[in-house]
Amino acid sequence: MISRTTKGKAVFVFLCVILSALLVYFISARSQGNYTASLEFGIAYANENGKPDLVKEKNLLLSNEILVQVMRELNLLPASTSRFRSFDLGNANTAPADHQTRDKIAVFKKDLTVNVKSATSSIEILYTGIESSKVKKTLEVLFEKYRDWRRDTASSDFDTQSISADKEISEKREIFLQSQKQILDLMEAQKNPADPLQAKKTELDAKISALKLRYGPKHPSLIEALKQRDALEAQKAGVSENAQLLQLKKKLELDFKNLDEAMRKSVALEQQKMSSPAAIEILPMGDVVVRDLSDKIPYKVTGAALAAFLLSLLYLKIRSRYQPYFETADDIKPATGFECIASIPGLANVITGEAPMPSGDTAEKLKILRHELKLRADTTPSKLLTVTSSINEEGAAALVMGLGRLAARSGENVLILEADLRAPTLQLALPQNSIRNLVDYLSGQARIEDVIYKTDVSGVHVIYSTAVPNTALDLVSSEKMKTLLHSLREVYDLTLALAPPSSAGPDARILSTISDQVLYCVKAGQTGRKQVLAGLFGYSASNTSLVLIQN
């Protein structure tokens, strides 16, 4: 039979798969786009080397200027829709003048996809809608408007370039004429200052002639006048081209060079215009293809169900590994290093006084556990078993009762030893009045035959105990306790020693050193991982096995 925890996990996975499949189905079925039209075309530039600018063409296809024309053609916008304030060929987000038109275009763009394929220098257009004829018509109109726009633009490319070239020539000529005028003005300004020097020279020449007639050649006045004339000649000769004039001449040469280049470019453009075909070519790669997306729904649902199945399993795996407690036997060994040899469901709660004979699935699991212990007898004896747990109420007492009774009913000679001297529980399930117990025997107040009770209907023998927490550790670790356990091992086919939980003290670990095997009980969904790991400290993995109790 399947355990409750396993059933819960299976139900969780099943619900995840069903809900995911239904969700994908309804989303796909109610989706506005059930049909997709596609068209692919190539782009080639006749006048340019290398590959065309496909991103620029994509932006043009998505530009609001073209989309407005398409939507008018399809009656999605009124014919009176306002034009754009400005349009940038490389900008697909140029806004229309009114907000209403802009919102409608935004909705239209959601169903429109333009893919650039650089490897083939082509562009693919996809449009999705709810009617096959409409999506096909939309794509045909869009391609037609784009092609018309591109053809008109290509035919006017040379005209635009010619206008630009003429404008450049005009600007360069104006700059050249301005530089020429600046040189002429400067030369005229430098010519005028020489006239006063000439008049002064003439005056000095007249003075020198008069002095020569009156005095001799060595007269001081004549010598001074000659010196003044020489200085004036030297000053007049110094009036020549300065640095400013030279700079203007260099600028004039540069302006003439720029003007010459602009004129040569204009001539080359005219020659190219006379001999070149259109600058752009649009090459359709087929007709518009319409696909029905509704036929993909089964694949989507199947994929979603499979993904949900795998993700739910992954979630359960992660959850079982990192959750604070154990739920299945498979969770135990990776976390503790100890093997879990059984998972027992439906054990009675001994604390409440319930101790019925195990039946059904519980009895079957206990029989399998006993059989597993017998199979290990070849390598590890299984006549003396210590049963313990991390904390109280984890099912250790119920396991001892159930396993012992079933073994006794099957014909084995079985004894259950209440080795918990701190908080014994067996007497709650098998009440006895005024009985001798293990404490009496260990303290020398009773014989062994006085403390063994054989009144259980299953035929199992029982040694009860009483609570002596102050001396419990001394009694459990005494030599008399060891001798008793060895004697019981020789007499009985199976001796089950119910030890206190590990959290109560080291009693169980002491008994484990004497016992053949240790059964360590873990309550599924209740015992914390940290408690189990702390309780297992000091036990040997060679003779200690875990039993998962599922209630």
> For every residue of 352-373, which 3-state class applies, written as one string?
HCCCCCCCHHHHHHHHHHHHHH
- pLDDT tens across 184-218, in order? 777 766 655 545 666 777 777 777 777 777 777 77
Per-residue confidence band for 87, with pLDDT thresholds at 50, 70 and 90: very low
Residue 214 belongs to some domain of the structure: no
Over residues 100-111, the mean pLDDT reads 87
- In this prediction, residue 156 carries a pLDDT of 57
- Boundary (domain end) residue, out of 93, 122, 155: 155
Per-residue DSSP letter, 282: E
Both tokens assigned to 510: 């002491």
- Boundary (domain end) residue, out of 115, 138, 155: 155
Residue 406 belongs to some domain of the structure: yes
pLDDT at 456 over 80: no
Residue 256 belongs to some domain of the structure: no
pLDDT at 88 over 50: no
- Boundary (domain end) residue, out of 118, 134, 155: 155
- In this prediction, residue 413 carries a pLDDT of 93
Residue 405 belongs to some domain of the structure: yes
The highest-confidence range among 222-226, 375-379, 512-516, by mean pLDDT, is 512-516
What's the rounded Cα separation, in Å, for the pair 171 and 179? 13
Check: pTM over 0.85? Answer yes or no: no
Instruction: Write the CA distances from 436 to 419, 442, 526, integer angstroms.
Output: 14, 11, 35
Instruction: Write the CA distances from 255 to 161, 165, 170, 279, integer angstroms.
Output: 22, 16, 12, 32
Residue 307 belongs to some domain of the structure: no
What's the rounded Cα separation, in Å, for the pair 8 and 505? 36
Residue 289 belongs to some domain of the structure: no
- In this prediction, residue 100 carries a pLDDT of 82
Bridge-based pairing of strands 494-498 and 414-418 is: parallel
Per-residue confidence band for 494, with pLDDT thresholds at 50, 70 and 90: very high
> b vs e for 426-439, b when ≥16 Cβ sit within 10 Å of the residue's Cβ?
bbebbeeeebbbbb
Closest CA to 17 of 352, 308, 343, 377: 308
Q: How many domains does the chain have?
A: 2
- In this prediction, residue 163 carries a pLDDT of 75
Q: What is the CATH number of the domain that holds 462?
A: 3.40.50.300
Range of the structural domain that residue 37 is part of: 31-155
Residue 237 belongs to some domain of the structure: no
Burial class from Cβ neighbours inside 10 Å (0-12, 13-18, 19+) for residue 258 reads middle
Residue 145 belongs to some domain of the structure: yes
